[in-house]
């Protein structure tokens, strides 16, 4: 099953995608993660997108479509793909349809994670990850058992925050979401592919709702 998780920054797309990877052996395709990896390894593309990302603006369609194309061609999608943070524009949504049909795949469902804007600032500004294993934490909702030590891999002093997880960038990211990405909700609704889950519920409960949606369309 190939699914899209759609929702504003902080809706919980990455958190839920990680659960789906473990539960159903799916492959998570996060353009945000791919772009951050390109920045860290200092590729030309990574250097080009760096300022754009820090400001919270969208990277060009051409770049992100290219990244997804590479992954679809190379990746073993036998467990299905989770598109996380892609598509974010109508041009990207059209490109995804074409790319999937080229590899004899189709999109099964689009899950919109609904949240209240008011909770997003708190969710985003409080989150951090382990730089060693990628485990996600939050200053309020998911603290590590021992300060400065990752519960999952035991790394000490490896916690880091995303450069764009601050209030200024979040404003721009939210604006980009409403302007460029929210039209996709109408687009997928019209195609009969849109489902919704309440992203304000607990991580566990949102996960169960997503599994129910997936069971309903399979």
Catalytic positions: 13, 88, 127, 162, 173
Nearest approach in angstroms of CB 216 to ligand AMP is 26
Nearer to ligand AMP by Cβ, of 64 and 130: the residue is 64
- Positions touching ligand AMP (CB under 6 A) are 9, 31-32, 35, 52-53, 56-59, 64, 85-86, 88, 92, 164, 173
Query: 3-state class of 129 per DSSP?
Result: strand
DSSP 115-126: --HHHHHHHHHT
Nearest approach in angstroms of CB 59 to ligand AMP is 4
Count how many residues are written for the chain.
218
Nearer to ligand AMP by Cβ, of 52 and 149: the residue is 52
Nearest residue to ligand AMP, scored by beta-carbon proximity: 32
Nearest approach in angstroms of CB 113 to ligand AMP is 13
Residue with tokens 């985003």: 124
Nearer to ligand AMP by Cβ, of 37 and 153: the residue is 37
H helices within the chain, ranges in order? 13-24, 31-40, 44-55, 61-74, 90-102, 117-125, 167-176, 183-190, 203-217
Partnered with residue 138 across adjacent β-strands are 127, 142
Question: 57: which 2 tokens?
Answer: 């603006």
Q: Closest by alpha carbon to 187, among 54, 92, 48?
A: 92
Nearest approach in angstroms of CB 157 to ligand AMP is 24
């Amino acid at each position: 099953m190939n699914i899209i998780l759609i929702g504003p920054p902080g809706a919980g797309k990455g958190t839920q995608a990680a659960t789906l990877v473990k539960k159903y052996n799916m492959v998570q395709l996060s353009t945000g993660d791919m772009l951050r990896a390109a920045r860290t390894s200092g590729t030309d593309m990574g250097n080009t997108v760096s300022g754009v990302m820090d400001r919270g603006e969208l990277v060009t369609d051409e770049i992100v479509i290219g990244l997804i194309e590479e992954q679809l061609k190379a990746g073993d999608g036998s467990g299905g793909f989770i598109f996380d943070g892609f598509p974010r524009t109508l041009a990207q949504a059209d490109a995804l349809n074409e790319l999937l049909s080229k590899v004899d795949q189709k999109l099964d469902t689009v899950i919109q994670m609904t949240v209240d804007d008011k909770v997003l600032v708190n969710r985003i500004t409080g989150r951090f990850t382990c730089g060693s294993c990628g485990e996600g934490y939050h200053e309020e909702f998911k603290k590590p058992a021992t300060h400065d030590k990752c519960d999952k891999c035991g790394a000490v002093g490896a916690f880091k925050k995303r450069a764009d997880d601050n209030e200024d960038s979040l404003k721009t990211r939210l604006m980009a979401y409403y302007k460029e990405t929210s039209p996709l909700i109408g687009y997928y609704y019209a195609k009969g592919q849109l489902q919704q889950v309440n992203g304000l519920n607990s991580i566990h409960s949102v996960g169960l709702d997503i599994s129910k949606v997936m069971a309903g369309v399979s």
